[in-house]
Structure 1
């Protein structure tokens, strides 16, 4: 039902917001594990586990949440664990976060206590 993509290096593009759509916030609960790709023009909050690529307007990884794969989102906030690659405009790591990723960002916030391993790059504008 949710096939895992072979290429974990790049998330799909974020779909354009349709003015007539009801894209809001989707919450994936703590008891949910998804293997595959998530694509939305809205926001996603991960409280469970996702093994695959995510493309969204906004992504929040909750305290118990785990994401392993490529992420492309305008705004990313991590409170749990994120492994992979991230392309974002705004990237925020809360004090409880564990990030093992290569992150591309425009705006970056890292709270004291956050655990980081990876590379951060800010594209020239």
Structure 2
């Protein structure tokens, strides 16, 4: 059983000058988001997300493209990931293409993706 503290990990913290954005559970959007800092996604999004750090929480569902230095997925994702450090946590359901500089897949994550290391 994993526990998490209230403090975000270093990887999940926004870059200097960036903020923290929250896309609430129950929210739905079709389109593209460009966000400075960290974005936490709990709703449903169909489109492209670009940020310094992206976290798809367990309640979140994203279809489209992700681009960030840090990407953590606990929920559902289908599409293309272009990330630096990519973490797929237990319970994540991911399909599509993953480009990464580092990749961590926890036991319990469901991954049906092609993976390509970059840099």
1:89 matched to 2:67? The reply is: no
| C-alpha distance in structure 2 between counterparts of 1:110 and 1:57, whole Å | 20
Aligned length in residues: 105
What secondary structure sits across from 2:36 in the alignment?
coil
* 1:58 paired to 2:53: yes
Relative contact order: is structure 1 or structure 2 higher (C-alpha 8 Å, sep ≥ 6)?
A: 1
Structure with greater proportional strand content: 2
Is 1:98–2:108 an aligned residue pair? Answer: no
Name segments (4+ residues, structure 1) moved above 6 Å. Answer: none
Residue 78 of structure 1 and its aligned partner are, at CA, apart by: 0.2
5+ unaligned residues in a row in structure 2: which ranges?
A: 1-14
Unaligned runs of 5+ in 1: 1-16
Deviation, structure 1 residue 41: 2.0
The structure with the larger Rg is 1
Q: Which residue pairs with 1:114 in the alignment?
A: 109
TM-score normalised by length of structure 2? 0.84
Partner of residue 27, structure 2: 32
What is the TM-score normalised by the length of structure 1?
Answer: 0.80
Instruction: Name the residue aligned to 1:68.
Output: 63
| Cα RMSD after superposing both structures | 1.3
Deviation for aligned residue 1:40: 1.4
